[in-house]
Amino acid sequence: MEKFIIQGGVPLRGEITPAGNKNAALPLLAACLLTDEPVILRNVPQIRDVLDMRRLIESLGTKVEDLDANTWRLTSRTLESSGLDFDLCRRIRASILLAGPMTARTGGLRLPPPGGDVIGRRRLDTHIFALQALGAHVTYNRVFDFHSTGLQGAEMLLDEASVTATENAVMAAVTAKGRTVIHNAASEPHIQELCHFLNGLGAQVEEIGSNTLHINGVPHLHGGEFTIGPDYLEVISFVGAVAVTRGDARIRNAGVGYLRMVAQVFRRLGVQWDVEGDDILINSNQPLAIVHDLDGAIPEIKTNVWPAFPTDLISIAITVATQATGSILFHDWMYSGRMYFTDKLVGMGARIILCDPYRCLVQGPMQLYGEKLESPDIRAGMALVLAALAAEGQSTIRNISQIDRGYENVEEKLRLLGANIQRLKE
Number of Cβ atoms within 10 Å of the Cβ of 18? 26
DSSP class of 205: E
Catalytic residue among 52, 68, 85, 117: 117
What are residue 360's DSSP bridge partners?
A: 330, 354
CA neighbor of 385 nearest in space, from 1, 2, 7? 7
Helix (H/G/I), strand (E/B), else coil: 262: helix
Bond into 357 cis (ω within 30): no
**DSSP state letters, 60-121:** TT-EEEEEETTEEEEE-SS--GGG--HHHHTT-GGGGGGHHHHHHHHSEEEEPPP----SS-
Helix (H/G/I), strand (E/B), else coil: 182: strand
Buried b (16+ CB within 10 A) or exposed e, 275-295: eeeebbebeeebebebeeeee
CA neighbor of 124 nearest in space, from 154, 158, 75, 174? 158
Alpha helices in 285-395 (DSSP H): 314-321, 342-347, 378-390
Helix (H/G/I), strand (E/B), else coil: 268: helix
Residue 117 known to be catalytic: yes
Number of Cβ atoms within 10 Å of the Cβ of 308? 12
If residue 251 lies in a helix (H) or strand (E), which one and from where to where? strand 248-251
Alpha helices in 174-308 (DSSP H): 189-200, 232-244, 260-268
Report yes or no: 195 and 216 within 8 Å, Cβ to Cβ: no
Q: Which residues are part of the catalytic machinery?
A: 117
